[in-house]
Amino acid sequence: MASDSSPGNFFTDPSSPDGFSSPIGNTFSSPAHQRGRRRRRSSPPSDATPPPNGSRFASSAASPTPSPAVRGGSRGRGRGRGVRRPPTSPPDSANTDDLPLPSSDFGDDMDEATPTYVWGTNVSVQEVKSAIYTFIKNFRESQESSDDVYAEAKYMMLIHRVLEMEGEWIDVDAHDVFAYDQDLYNKMVRYPLEVLAIFDIVLMDIVSSINEMFDKHVQVRIHNLKSSTSMRNLNPSDIEKMVSLKGMIIRCSSIIPEIREAVFKCLLCEYHSDPVVVDRGRITEPTMCSNENCLAKNSMTLIHNRCRFADKQIVRLQETPDEIPEGGTPHTVSLLMHDKLVDAGKPGDRVQITGIYRAMSVRVGPTQRSVKSLFKTYIDCLHIKKTDKSRMVADDPMEVDGSSQRIEEDVRFDEDKVKELKELSKQPDIYDRLTRSLAPNIWELEDVKKGLLCQLFGGNSLKLQSGASCRGDINILLVGDPGTSKSQLLQYIHKLSPRGIYTSGRGSSAVGLTAYVTKDPETGETVLESGALVLSDRGICCIDEFDKMSDNARSMLHEVMEQQTVSIAKAGIIASLNARTSVLACANPSGSRYNPRLSVIDNIHLPPTLLSRFDLIYLILDKADEQTDRRLAKHIVSLHFEDPKSAELDFIDLGTLTAYVSYARKHIHPQLSDEAAEELTQGYVQMRRRGNFPGSSKKVITATPRQIESLIRLSEALARIRFSEWVEKHDVVEAFRLLEVAMQQSATDHTTGTIDMDLITTGVSASERMRRENVLTATRNIILEKVQLGGPSVRLLELLDELKKQSSGPELQLHDLRNAVATLASEGLVVLHGDSVKRV
């Protein structure tokens, strides 16, 4: 093959006798493109400078079976578009067109009075054309139409913009078409090949009327069809129709250059032939040099760099997991991408595509006489839109830190679904129903589930002007006896939460949870790697076996749970990573079983600083209670013997629940109503006052500012559950109740029975502190009385006996005394040597 060293563009070559060189230049294998080409010739200004790319209907026509049977109106042969089979006919109508006719016919046809019809239908080409024209010229979005009639039509505006940007296509929302002209929409969906080609012509007409010099070919791209099909339901009747599908890209072919126009050169006289147009997937090599002086036979050779190619790519789309019925495997479909759509998606992307469902017959082989009766189907892709990656929307739109480049088109819940969800939210018992539907196989634990529900919905995060921020995430700690399905609850929430990591305390290290810095072994650069908490940003981080976590790892959680960031300061890297995550942790009591005689702190053995960062702490105790046991027995028996259908209560299934949560998190941002705010203040004041009940000399803190923040978060979450934009009074009341339930279980001072936040914040209750104070005073008195300065030392046990004689209070332990003596020693009153105390 000879290669031409002067890659001149033959389009601009004046010597080229390109009498009817395509203005669009799309020389496709399929006659369909030729139709399109001819049609587009009608735009005169583009004649001289053909735009580089063309129609999207390129397909490799596999079966060259021209049908003589189909011709359009009287002179409609130029209107190749008129050739159309009835919808039930086999899908190779694209190939049934005749050869392209001399282009001169076309312009005449355009002005002809006799209507031409799309073959086999009553779709008039002229009508469609004018309908599209009026649509483009006149469609305005509803909200602007009322006050501003003179505003430019939406698509005219778009066209202007495209002209300015030198864009190549215009996205047309099918909903707009539907709203403006239902009939046009229906025609477009049923006969997309024809209607879109007309659309393109109209577009080019308009473009050329605006700017005669605009030489690019502008295409129309339809998206957002009224109804989208599932891949599974594509059937023969959809062939040649416009369809919209959701799916996941699983494979992309490499980019295939498809030849559109070929140029040949004579090996003898160096004469360059006219561009040869691809005809039905083939290029006919000229057998003879057309130079009059040469006329050599079989001397022509292809010049690669003067041929024109277009990009093409074949992409495989697979059903998304949620569409696969039980016991099935996902279906796949091939997509044909052209030009700009090439590489628009990568494997793994979830996309919604709009395209034309096509089929081509399978040639068994060139030598075969019998055509295989099979069709291979594919979709000529018109438009591709990426949808979100994960099944749920993890985005919290209340995000205030201004990352504006977040993609707008995340998940758009389709209207029906939203309607359904809203319907659901209007039910009066929605709160209870959601609670019931949460882990339905775990019975009881109503309040715990309610707390978890609040965690799922979450409150609003707040960023103040000063830069300080308030988290909206609710942290929950479950403490309980083994075998009380804590882990199951955790697993369930993990499954449901928008994003999240499930980890077990025992297997987590500090860096595994937060982030760590490593040296890249090859480059030696320091690299930051995210841990579980950072990865579950905007989600829920479930930590099982919280108590078995190393102290080092736990201490890392302090920052995360209040500031919601992870800061790293290591050689080379100082960074602060976002970790806006809710923490759901569960722990076993320190003695594996909860000891009711010990305080919560003693039972849990967690540092109080960390404990106070949990909004709700639930104690799930396995009470030896015959009632519960009986319920358990009944539950299990029914599990084994009852018909599963009859046992089905009105649970909301997992999918709906997920959608409900996602929708609420995304779209509902409740605000405190005045009434609710009032209630909140009142309640808080009351809660604090409870510590100072008359007759009590000691100071008991029943609530701290952290609690009021928790309360706000909880009430916001409760409003979200109802899809309400306002936090009502009853939300606050319920939040108080939830908090109190959790507090009563965890922060009750078991000696007095009142709630004591000190238990959580310092690990020592007020009454305990009072007692210690008493012991200390008594010890001091005894030592001052009994022990001589510089005299013989006294054994601790003796002191204890002495103390016991004096005090009438509750039993005194040796370690209490030891504590007291240690305090005295620090005061410098005594010295402690092993077991003996000596006054100094």
Partner 1 sequence: MGGPPYDCLSNPLGAVRFAFEKAMASGSHPSAFGGKDWGALDLFRHFLSEQSALSQVPILNPQTIRLVQPNTLVRYRGMIQDMLGNEFYVGAYKDGSSWRTNKFADVSQFPMCSSPDMCVWERRLLYCVPVPGQSSWTKSSYQPQLNQGMESSSQKKEKRRRLDVEDMDRITDDELETSPSAKKMREGDCFPSSEFRASVPEGNFPRTCTFLDVDKDSLPCLVKIYDSPESELKLNDIFEFIGVLTFDSESEAATNDYDEVSNSFSDDELVQLPPNKVPRLHCLIHRKLAVHDFLQSSPILEVNPHIVKEIREALLRHLTAVLGDDGIAAHFVLLHLLSRVHNRVDDVAVGKLSLNLIGLSKESVSVFGTRLSNVVESLLPFTHCLPLKLEDLNAASLAPKKDYQINRLRPGVLQIPEGSHLVIDETQLKAGSLDAVGVENARLLKNLTEFQKVEYDFQYYKLEMAADIQLLIFSDGKSNILPADIVIPFQPSSVGSYKEVATEALEAWRWYLATVRSLPHSIESDMQKVVEDDMVAARQADQSLGSQDFSRWLTMGRLMSSSFGETSLSMEHWQMVKELERLRRERLKLK
In this complex, which beta carbon is closest to partner 1, that of residue 59 or of residue 710? 59
Quick check: 89 binds partner 1 (CB under 8 A)?
yes
Per-residue string for binding with partner 1, 746-775, x by CB under 8 A?
A: ------------------------------
**Nearest CA-CA partner of 462 in 555, 396, 561:** 396
Q: Residue 573 forms beta bridges with which residues?
A: 570
Quick check: 646 binds partner 1 (CB under 8 A)?
no
**CA 805 vs CA 239, 658, 797, 815, 821: distances in Å:** 99, 65, 12, 17, 18
**Nearest CA-CA partner of 702 in 713, 693, 715, 689:** 689
Quick check: 548 binds partner 1 (CB under 8 A)?
no
In this complex, which beta carbon is closest to partner 1, that of residue 62 or of residue 747? 62
Quick check: 653 binds partner 1 (CB under 8 A)?
no
Assign residue 604 a region (left: φ > 0; alpha: ψ between -120 and 50; beta: otherwise). alpha
**CA 477 vs CA 238, 486, 542, 546, 587: distances in Å:** 54, 10, 10, 9, 8
**CA 70 vs CA 96, 119, 226, 639, 794: distances in Å:** 7, 8, 32, 66, 119
In this complex, which beta carbon is closest to partner 1, that of residue 175 or of residue 363? 363
DSSP state of 348: T
**Token pair belonging to 528:** 């930051």
Residues 34-63 that bind partner 1 (CB under 8 A): 60, 62-63
Quick check: 364 binds partner 1 (CB under 8 A)?
yes
Residues 434-453 that bind partner 1 (CB under 8 A): 440-441
**How far is Cα 230 from Cα 20, in angstroms, rounded to an integer?**
43
Quick check: 90 binds partner 1 (CB under 8 A)?
yes
**CA 42, 45, 50, 55 torsion-angle sign:** negative
Helix (H) or strand (E) holding 126: helix 125-138
- Piece in contact with partner 1 (CB under 8 A), picked from 106-114, 325-333, 513-521, 675-683: 325-333
In this complex, which beta carbon is closest to partner 1, that of residue 170 or of residue 302? 302
- Piece in contact with partner 1 (CB under 8 A), picked from 165-173, 622-630, 771-779, 782-790: 622-630
The one among 632, 685, 797, 814 contacting partner 1 by CB under 8 A: 632
In this complex, which beta carbon is closest to partner 1, that of residue 134 or of residue 377? 377
- Piece in contact with partner 1 (CB under 8 A), picked from 122-130, 222-230, 358-366, 664-672: 358-366
**How far is Cα 109 from Cα 86, in angstroms, rounded to an integer?**
24
- Residue indicated by tokens 């998206």: 223
**Nearest CA-CA partner of 62 in 452, 372, 437:** 372
- What's the farthest any 2 CA atoms get from each other in the chain? 136
Residues 60-79 that bind partner 1 (CB under 8 A): 60, 62-63, 65, 67, 69-70
Quick check: 329 binds partner 1 (CB under 8 A)?
yes
The one among 248, 289, 394, 617 contacting partner 1 by CB under 8 A: 248
**How far is Cα 606 from Cα 612, in angstroms, rounded to an integer?**
10
Residues 376-435 that bind partner 1 (CB under 8 A): 376-378
In this complex, which beta carbon is closest to partner 1, that of residue 98 or of residue 675? 98
Quote the least distance from Cβ 443 to partner 1, whole Å: 10
3 state DSSP class of 297: strand
**How far is Cα 254 from Cα 311, in angstroms, rounded to an integer?**
10
Residues 483-542 that bind partner 1 (CB under 8 A): 483
Quick check: 367 binds partner 1 (CB under 8 A)?
yes
The one among 143, 373, 403, 646 contacting partner 1 by CB under 8 A: 373
Quote the least distance from Cβ 85 to partner 1, whole Å: 8
Quick check: 626 binds partner 1 (CB under 8 A)?
yes
Quick check: 639 binds partner 1 (CB under 8 A)?
yes
Size of the site for partner 1 (CB under 8 A): 79
Residues 290-319 that bind partner 1 (CB under 8 A): 312, 314, 316, 318
- Piece in contact with partner 1 (CB under 8 A), picked from 329-337, 526-534, 726-734, 806-814: 329-337
Rg (CA), the chain: 39
Per-residue string for binding with partner 1, 95-134, x by CB under 8 A?
A: -x--------------------------------------
CA atoms within 13 A on the CB side of 370: 3
Quick check: 284 binds partner 1 (CB under 8 A)?
no
